[in-house]
């Protein structure tokens, strides 16, 4: 090891994976350096739940990728934002905070042979970060939570006050749903088929603000100022690995903001050759937590990856790991939208003119500032959600989750916020349908140059595996279910017309064409998959998140899941990172 080593651990990236591991290690009195490419930022937009989408207009904290929806040959790309900020994408995300089905943990235990991934053990990992018991699990013994993250339904729509809503349109919508599906009071405990529920969200109930990774990092820093160090605006460009011993001892980095070319503020000509590079060392381990695309990118740049790819780019191969950048999975999403009749605003009428503008006279913002725990902006705007399965039913899981939002939301795509702003809030109703049980793992991410500031080639491969037609058919069945709901219920009197797909799309063939055009997603994962590194040639990390064939190097983020977790990944990442932190601490102390 180098004499200049000062930290026990260096963690690259501060999202749900990196923040959890870094804070756990710091609280255990190890000296920790957390390196984050983005800035130390905590503003009204990242705090206010209702402004989650508007954070994407905050250019210094957002990076925009343009992956291929299907394949490079097909050529269709889609806007895909992520966070580059202290706290990671969890500072910008839509706040949905859902656990996975217990059998998903058991599957990881079976794949890896590590019983610590079993649901019995992993359910205990939910408790450390849950602060209140609104979404406790039944077997939680400690009902006086003292965690750091609130998981709550918006205060003004607490399960206890269900159906206590004054707006007649919204009330009728609830009644129509209630006739078809059962109410599910705690979806984090019970993922039963065909139920409706209030979406658990990462919102601090007492303050009405995002319960954030940023706040967690800052509070641990104030508790451990001498051993927890944070460098923001610092981009790690390479891992320092001895090619002979395969020991990882440090990272190369470049100081500066908006260096990565996915940033709208980056210089397109920036090249690693022309900037000052420095190196910092760790005594124990490096933990890579850059997320689903930057983590495999950093490995590939450092000589860990598919030999053919690395040799083509002239990168010396330290470890031939063909699984790096493969196995990418995604939840496919589609919007179903109805236009409401004039003056039949779906939201509480006194708040109908929300304009999502923090600098102007936005009545909803004024309302929120006066009443932060009980206004529209105190939530992510979701009215309620449902689980529903189409035929054929996938064993153990509802195949889809639907989110009902009072806006014209066609999915995250180029200029989506500007387009949505043209339609007054509450005058359209969108049902965002997300398929949660895909098995398609054909997506991939590969670097295309040795310049670490360049973005990689990303292919999502929606519907490209043999299960693709089944998924498209699930969407078609869900669209028909919603058509029935909006035509054959009391709520139909509030509906003007179907906006998306629109009445011209009727046959399976027509609806399929619509689905191919409008599919999107925002949970890409699994690009450094965990597995049995002895038997699975595509496994990148073992059950303790250690990179195969390399010493002192782990990965802790969304990229290590072998199968896309649950319906929303943030809470499963927190839970997985708690388990990995245990592994690291046990190894260090043992």
Ligand X SMILES: Cc1cc2nc3c(=O)[nH]c(=O)nc-3n(C[C@H](O)[C@H](O)[C@H](O)COP(=O)(O)OP(=O)(O)OC[C@H]3O[C@@H](n4cnc5c(N)ncnc54)[C@H](O)[C@@H]3O)c2cc1C
Binding residues: 93-96, 236
Segment interacting with ligand X (CB under 6 A) among 32-40, 119-127, 464-472, 510-518: 32-40
The Cα 264–Cα 66 span in angstroms is 12
Q: List C-alpha distances in Å: 132 to 20, 68, 204, 452.
A: 19, 41, 9, 42
Residues shown for the chain: 590
Q: Which residue has the tokens 């979406």?
A: 199
Tell me if 136 contacts ligand X by CB under 6 A: no
The Cα 524–Cα 299 span in angstroms is 18
Q: Looking at beta carbons only, is 82 or 462 nearer to ligand X?
A: 82
CB 92 → ligand X: shortest distance, Å?
5
Q: Looking at beta carbons only, is 406 or 456 nearer to ligand X?
A: 456
CB 560 → ligand X: shortest distance, Å?
9
* Position among 68, 70, 198, 568 found at the interface with ligand X (CB under 6 A): 568
Tell me if 96 contacts ligand X by CB under 6 A: yes
Q: Which residue is nearest to ligand X (CB)?
A: 15
Residues 253-292 interacting with ligand X (rule: CB under 6 A): 289-291
Tell me if 354 contacts ligand X by CB under 6 A: no
Q: DSSP string spanning 160-223?
A: GGTT----HHHHHHHHHHHHHSEE-S-TTT---SSEEEPPPB-EETTTTEE--HHHHHHHHHHH
Q: Looking at beta carbons only, is 472 or 554 nearer to ligand X?
A: 554
Q: Looking at beta carbons only, is 501 or 531 nearer to ligand X?
A: 531
Tell me if 569 contacts ligand X by CB under 6 A: yes
Q: DSSP string spanning 403-452?
A: EEESS----S-TTHHHHHTTS-TTSEEEEEEEE-------BEEE--SS-T
CA neighbor of 507 nearest in space, from 471, 487, 469, 480: 480
CB 213 → ligand X: shortest distance, Å?
8
Tell me if 89 contacts ligand X by CB under 6 A: yes
Q: Looking at beta carbons only, is 91 or 427 nearer to ligand X?
A: 91
* Position among 34, 38, 127, 352 found at the interface with ligand X (CB under 6 A): 38
**Are the C-beta atoms of residues 527 and 260 closer than 8 Å to each other?**
no
What's 258-294 look like in SS3? Answer: CCCCCCCCCCCCCCHHHCCCEEEEEEEEEEECCHHHH
Q: Looking at beta carbons only, is 17 or 501 nearer to ligand X?
A: 17
Tabulate helix, strand, coil % of the chain (nearest 5).
30, 20, 50
CA neighbor of 325 nearest in space, from 444, 187, 201, 451: 444
Residues forming the annotated binding site for FAD?
93-96, 236
Q: Looking at beta carbons only, is 24 or 340 nearer to ligand X?
A: 24
* Position among 114, 330, 557, 578 found at the interface with ligand X (CB under 6 A): 557
Tell me if 540 contacts ligand X by CB under 6 A: no
Burial status of residue 509 (CB atoms within 10 A of its CB: 0-12, 13-18, 19 or more)? exposed
Q: The tokens of 44 are what? A: 């009204």
Tell me if 92 contacts ligand X by CB under 6 A: yes
**Are the C-beta atoms of residues 494 and 452 closer than 8 Å to each other?**
no
The Cα 222–Cα 23 span in angstroms is 11
Q: The tokens of 362 are what? A: 């936005």
The Cα 587–Cα 590 span in angstroms is 5
* Position among 37, 155, 239, 500 found at the interface with ligand X (CB under 6 A): 37
Tell me if 191 contacts ligand X by CB under 6 A: no
Tell me if 573 contacts ligand X by CB under 6 A: yes
Q: Looking at beta carbons only, is 253 or 486 nearer to ligand X?
A: 253
Q: Looking at beta carbons only, is 109 or 573 nearer to ligand X?
A: 573
Q: The tokens of 524 are what? A: 């890409």
Tell me if 526 contacts ligand X by CB under 6 A: no
* Position among 23, 46, 54, 93 found at the interface with ligand X (CB under 6 A): 93
* Position among 408, 523, 548, 554 found at the interface with ligand X (CB under 6 A): 523
Beta bridge partners, 553, equal 286
Tell me if 294 contacts ligand X by CB under 6 A: yes
**Phi, psi for residue 364 in degrees, rounded to 5:** -70, -35
CB 557 → ligand X: shortest distance, Å?
3
CB 61 → ligand X: shortest distance, Å?
9
Strand 80-83 and strand 319-320: the pairing is unpaired
Tell me if 154 contacts ligand X by CB under 6 A: no
Segment interacting with ligand X (CB under 6 A) among 34-42, 133-141, 241-249, 262-270: 34-42
Residues 215-254 interacting with ligand X (rule: CB under 6 A): 235-236
Segment interacting with ligand X (CB under 6 A) among 75-83, 120-128, 355-363, 510-518: 75-83
Q: Looking at beta carbons only, is 511 or 523 nearer to ligand X?
A: 523
Tell me if 458 contacts ligand X by CB under 6 A: no
Would you tell me which residues interact with ligand X (CB under 6 A)? Answer: 12-18, 35-38, 81-85, 88-90, 92-96, 235-236, 289-291, 294, 298, 522-523, 557-558, 568-570, 573
């Amino acid at each position: 090891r180098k004499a200049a080593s000062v930290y026990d651990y260096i963690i690259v990236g501060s999202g749900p994976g990196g923040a959890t591991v870094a804070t756990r290690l710091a609280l255990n009195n190890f000296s920790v350096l957390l390196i984050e490419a983005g800035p130390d930022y905590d503003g009204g937009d990242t705090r206010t739940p209702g402004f989650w989408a508007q954070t994407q207009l905050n250019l210094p904290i957002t990076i925009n990728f343009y992956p291929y929806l299907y394949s490079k040959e097909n050529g269709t790309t889609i806007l895909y934002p992520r966070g580059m900020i202290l706290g990671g994408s969890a500072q910008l995300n839509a706040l949905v905070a859902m656990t996975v089905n217990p059998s998903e943990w058991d599957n990881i235990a079976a794949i890896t042979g590590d019983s610590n991934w079993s649901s019995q053990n992993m359910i205990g990992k939910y408790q450390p970060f849950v602060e209140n018991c609104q979404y406790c699990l039944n077997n939680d013994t400690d009902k006086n939570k003292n965690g750091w993250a609130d998981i709550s339904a918006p205060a003004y729509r607490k399960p206890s006050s269900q159906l206590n809503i004054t707006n007649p349109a919204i009330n009728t919508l609830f009644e129509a749903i209630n006739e078809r599906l059962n109410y599910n009071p705690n979806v984090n405990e019970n993922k039963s088929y065909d139920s409706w529920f209030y979406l658990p969200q990462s919102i601090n109930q007492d303050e009405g603000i995002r319960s954030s990774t940023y706040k967690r990092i800052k509070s641990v820093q104030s508790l451990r100022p001498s051993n927890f160090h944070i460098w923001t605006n610092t981009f790690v460009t390479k891992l320092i690995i001895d090619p002979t011993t395969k020991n990882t001892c440090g990272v190369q980095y470049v100081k500066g903001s908006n260096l990565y070319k996915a940033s709208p503020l980056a210089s397109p000509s920036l090249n690693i050759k022309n900037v000052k590079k420095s190196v910092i060392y760790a005594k124990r381990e490096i933990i890579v937590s850059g997320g689903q695309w930057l983590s495999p990118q950093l490995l590939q740049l450092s000589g860990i990856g598919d030999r053919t790819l690395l040799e083509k780019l002239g990168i010396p191969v330290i470890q031939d790991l063909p699984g790096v950048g493969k196995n990418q999975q995604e939840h496919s999403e589609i919007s179903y939208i109805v236009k409401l009749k004039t003056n039949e605003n779906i939201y509480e009428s006194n708040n109908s003119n929300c304009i999502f503008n923090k600098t102007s006279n936005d009545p909803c913002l004024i309302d929120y500032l006066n009443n932060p725990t009980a206004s529209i902006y105190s939530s992510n705007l979701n009215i309620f959600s449902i689980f529903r399965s189409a035929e054929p039913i996938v064993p153990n899981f509802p195949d889809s989750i639907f989110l009902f939002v009072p806006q014209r939301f066609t999915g995250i795509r180029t200029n989506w916020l500007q387009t949505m702003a043209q339609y007054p809030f509450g005058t359209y109703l969108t049902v965002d349908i997300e398929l949660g049980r895909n098995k398609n793992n054909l997506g991939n991410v590969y670097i295309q140059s040795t310049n670490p500031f360049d973005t990689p080639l990303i292919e999502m491969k929606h519907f490209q595996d043999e299960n693709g037609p089944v998924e498209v058919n699930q969407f078609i069945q869900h669209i028909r279910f919603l058509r029935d709901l909006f035509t054959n219920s009391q709520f139909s009197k509030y509906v003007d017309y179907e906006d998306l797909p629109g009445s011209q799309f009727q046959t399976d063939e027509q609806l399929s064409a619509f689905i191919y055009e409008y599919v999107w997603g925002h949970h890409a994962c699994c690009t450094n998959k965990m597995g049995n590194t002895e038997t699975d040639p595509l496994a990148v990390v073992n059950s303790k998140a250690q990179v195969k064939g390399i010493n002192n190097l782990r990965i802790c983020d969304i990229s290590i899941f072998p199968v896309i977790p649950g319906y929303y990944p943030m809470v499963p990442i927190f839970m997985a990172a708690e388990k990995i932190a245990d592994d690291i601490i046990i190894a260090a102390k043992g």
